[in-house]
């Protein structure tokens, strides 16, 4: 009984020493310029993580395409995926600490057999990672059922997070192989939300669904409409990525480069669609030249910031969140356990209770009691990830590896952004962590060429 009580006490601690130490290491690694009051890295989390070289093949033909030329010459192999995910997660756990969000990403994740997909997610969780599967979203209900249910028909996944990439630059989607515009894809976006709602309803699986979209001059004018429509569908996160010149050059056309669509122009479209100011300075994830994030919620058709950056009282709440709530693990903790952790935290720091009550009172006043009672709350986070061109990343990374700061302003900015990268990938062979832009822009081509020899595509490909 004493051993059980000790185990329960450890399990319900709001934080742990290993995670606190990992946060301190992460903060010490950050460039001075991004150690801002709202910086999340090193204070609330260590950053996001992703896999590489695990299943590079994809069955859509997108323009532009970030995959290297050899990606579709590599067959999907479950044993290879499981082994690589395990090795990479072990490296991330050792170097980045016991807890983080990680993406199961490569090519198209649903090309993995459901059993291998489920096992890869289980491996990630065993290493303290909260996994998110990255997909184009052209997936059947039957696949999702086989993913969350084991061969015995019992539920094997209690939580399932997917990030679906849906935009008019993607060719080959069933039912609409060449979408003429973003609006034509709204029924497919709604279908995805309905599929995950069914998983919750029929199998009791907690789900989270994020929406990704590449932005070029061809569709930047449609971003606001996507925000309005998709924001009301049930996605928990809407992410937009100005196109960067990375990957298979055969899939690129003139005018698609990221520099042709500036971050301010894309963010203005997001604000137009949300009908609100999206303050990305309250919480910062790495360098704001790479990432902009606005946390908030819809009440009816109106979006509201969860914290108002112009209100000093809300900024005090922000500071308390970053300093006191970092170790709880809101997404991955079962709700009864989360409640106990929060109660223990409140007991050790009673000042948090009036701070939280004050924030709740201000928020209700801003939103309106009548609107809350009528519509309820739908949390939706807005994100913009601005990846970098491979032509800039390659020389900047080479200089950084030698400890040299470039005299060229563009390359120096690239070096600064790489040093503050929020999104890392692990290389177990040498224990290196690299930014995602380096992985995709510098390392993927050679890695996929080697994989095409190790895992050659069969002569006759499996039909979708």
The CA-atom distances, in angstroms, between 72 and each of 412, 448, 451 are 34, 9, 10
Nearest alpha-carbon partner for 69 in 82, 83, 57, 87 = 57
Q: Does the residue 273 lie in any domain?
A: yes
What is the mean pLDDT of the segment spanning 30-39?
96
CB contact at 8 A, 396 and 411? yes
Q: How far apart are CA 49 and CA 100, in angstroms?
A: 7
Q: Does the residue 125 lie in any domain?
A: yes
Q: Does the residue 330 lie in any domain?
A: no
Q: Does the residue 287 lie in any domain?
A: yes
Structure tokens belonging to residue 367: 């939103």
Note the Cα 319 to chain centre separation in Å: 23
Confidence of residue 120 (pLDDT cuts 50, 70, 90): very high
402-438 pLDDT tens trace: 999 999 999 999 999 999 999 999 999 999 999 999 9
From first CA to last CA, the distance across the chain in angstroms is 54
Q: How far apart are CA 120 and CA 83, in angstroms?
A: 9
Nearest alpha-carbon partner for 226 in 213, 237, 207 = 213
CB contact at 8 A, 321 and 44? yes
149-186 pLDDT tens trace: 999 999 999 999 999 999 999 999 999 999 999 999 99
Q: Which residue has the higher pLDDT, 454 or 258?
A: 454
The CA-atom distances, in angstroms, between 420 and each of 47, 289, 376, 416 are 10, 10, 37, 7
Q: How many domains does the chain have?
A: 1
Q: Pairing state of beta strands 129-135 and 432-435?
A: unpaired
Q: Does the residue 360 lie in any domain?
A: no
Note the Cα 310 to chain centre separation in Å: 27
Share of the chain above pLDDT 90, in %: 82
Return the beta strands (E) in 70-126 as ranges: 100-104
Q: Which residues of 373-402 are buried (b: 16+ CB within 10 A; e: fewer)?
A: eeeeebebbbbbbbbbbbebbbbbbebbee
Nearest alpha-carbon partner for 39 in 282, 279, 267 = 282
Q: How far apart are CA 171 and CA 177, in angstroms?
A: 5
Q: How far apart are CA 129 and CA 155, in angstroms?
A: 20
Confidence of residue 461 (pLDDT cuts 50, 70, 90): low
What is the mean pLDDT of the segment spanning 13-21?
87
Instruction: Average the pLDDT over each of 177-191, 222-236, 246-260 and give the range with the smallest value.
Output: 246-260
Nearest alpha-carbon partner for 383 in 18, 16, 40 = 40
Share of the chain above pLDDT 70, in %: 96
Q: 70: burial class by Cβ within 10 Å (0-12, 13-18, 19+)?
A: buried
The phi and psi torsions of 278 (rounded to 5 degrees) equal -105, 95
311-333 pLDDT tens trace: 999 999 999 999 988 877 777 67
Q: Pairing state of beta strands 432-435 and 381-385?
A: unpaired
Checking if the pLDDT of 388 tops 80, the result is yes
pLDDT on residue 459 = 63
All residues at 6 or more sequence positions from 42 whose CB lies less than 8 Å from its CB, including other chains:
23, 24, 26, 27, 28, 29, 30, 35
What is the mean pLDDT of the segment spanning 373-400?
96
Range of the domain at 169: 37-316+380-454
What is the mean pLDDT of the segment spanning 348-376?
95
Nearest alpha-carbon partner for 199 in 145, 135, 246 = 145
Q: How far apart are CA 296 and CA 381, in angstroms?
A: 6
pLDDT on residue 12 = 86
Q: Which residues are bridge partners to 426 per DSSP?
A: 433
Q: Is the peptide bond before 286 cis (omega within 30 degrees of 0)?
A: no
Q: For position 95, which CATH number holds?
A: 3.20.20
Q: Does the residue 203 lie in any domain?
A: yes
Checking if the pLDDT of 462 tops 60, the result is no
188-225 pLDDT tens trace: 999 999 999 999 999 999 999 999 999 999 999 999 99
Q: How far apart are CA 396 and CA 404, in angstroms?
A: 9
Q: Which residues are bridge partners to 427 per DSSP?
A: 432
Structure tokens belonging to residue 206: 């907690």
pLDDT on residue 258 = 47
Structure tokens belonging to residue 175: 């039912």
Return the beta strands (E) in 128-262 as ranges: 129-135, 159-165, 170-171, 206-215, 237-242
**Does residue 262 sit in helix, strand or coil?**
coil
Q: Does the residue 371 lie in any domain?
A: no
Checking if the pLDDT of 57 tops 90, the result is yes
Nearest alpha-carbon partner for 52 in 438, 340, 420 = 438
- Strand order of the sheet with strand 296-299? 302-305, 296-299, 378-379
Confidence of residue 296 (pLDDT cuts 50, 70, 90): very high
Q: Does the residue 27 lie in any domain?
A: no
Checking if the pLDDT of 125 tops 80, the result is yes
């Amino acid at each position: 009984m004493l051993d059980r009580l000790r185990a329960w006490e450890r399990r319900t601690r709001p934080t742990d020493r290993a995670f606190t130490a990992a946060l301190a290491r992460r903060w010490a690694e950050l460039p001075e310029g991004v150690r801002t009051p709202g910086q999340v890295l090193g204070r609330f989390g260590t950053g996001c993580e992703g896999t590489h070289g695990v299943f590079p093949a994809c069955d859509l033909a997108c323009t532009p395409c970030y995959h290297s030329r050899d990606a579709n010459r590599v067959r999907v192999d479950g044993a290879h995926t499981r082994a690589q995910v395990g090795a990479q997660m072990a490296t991330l756990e050792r170097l980045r600490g016991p807890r983080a969000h990680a993406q199961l990403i490569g090519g198209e994740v649903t090309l993995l057999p459901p059993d291998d997909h489920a096992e890869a997610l289980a491996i990630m969780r065993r290493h303290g990672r909260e996994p998110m599967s990255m997909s184009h979203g052209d997936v059947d209900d039957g696949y999702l059922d086989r993913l969350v249910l084991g061969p015995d028909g019992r539920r094997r996944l209690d939580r399932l997070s997917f990030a679906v990439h849906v935009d008019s630059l993607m060719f080959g989607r069933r039912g609409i192989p060449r979408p003429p515009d973003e609006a034509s894809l709204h029924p497919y976006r709604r279908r995805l939300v309905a599929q995950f709602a069914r998983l919750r309803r029929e199998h009791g699986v907690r789900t989270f669904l994020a929406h990704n979209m590449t932005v070029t001059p061809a569709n930047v004018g449609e971003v606001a409409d996507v925000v309005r429509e998709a924001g009301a569908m049930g996605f928990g996160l809407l992410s937009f990525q100005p196109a960067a010149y990375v990957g298979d050059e055969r899939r690129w056309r003139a005018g698609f480069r990221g520099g042709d669509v500036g971050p301010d122009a894309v963010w203005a479209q997001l604000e137009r669609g949300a009908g609100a100011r999206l303050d990305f300075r309250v919480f910062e994830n790495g360098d704001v030249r790479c990432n902009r994030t606005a946390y908030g919620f819809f009440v009816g058709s109106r979006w509201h910031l969860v914290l108002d950056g112009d209100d000093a009282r809300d900024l005090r709440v922000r500071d308390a969140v970053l300093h006191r709530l970092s170790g709880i693990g809101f997404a991955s903790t079962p709700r009864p356990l989360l409640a106990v952790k929060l109660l223990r935290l409140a007991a050790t720091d009673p000042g948090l209770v009036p701070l939280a009550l004050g924030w709740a009172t201000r928020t209700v006043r801003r939103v309106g009691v009548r609107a809350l009672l009528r519509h309820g709350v739908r949390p939706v986070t807005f994100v913009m990830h601005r990846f970098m061109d491979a032509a800039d990343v390659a020389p900047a990374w080479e200089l950084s590896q030698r400890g040299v700061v470039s005299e060229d302003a563009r390359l120096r900015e690239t070096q600064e952004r790489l040093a503050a990268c929020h999104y890392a990938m692990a290389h177990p062979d040498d224990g290196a962590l690299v930014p995602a832009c380096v992985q995709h822009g510098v390392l993927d081509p050679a890695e996929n060429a080697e994989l095409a020899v190790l895992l050659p595509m069969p002569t006759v490909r499996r039909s979708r």
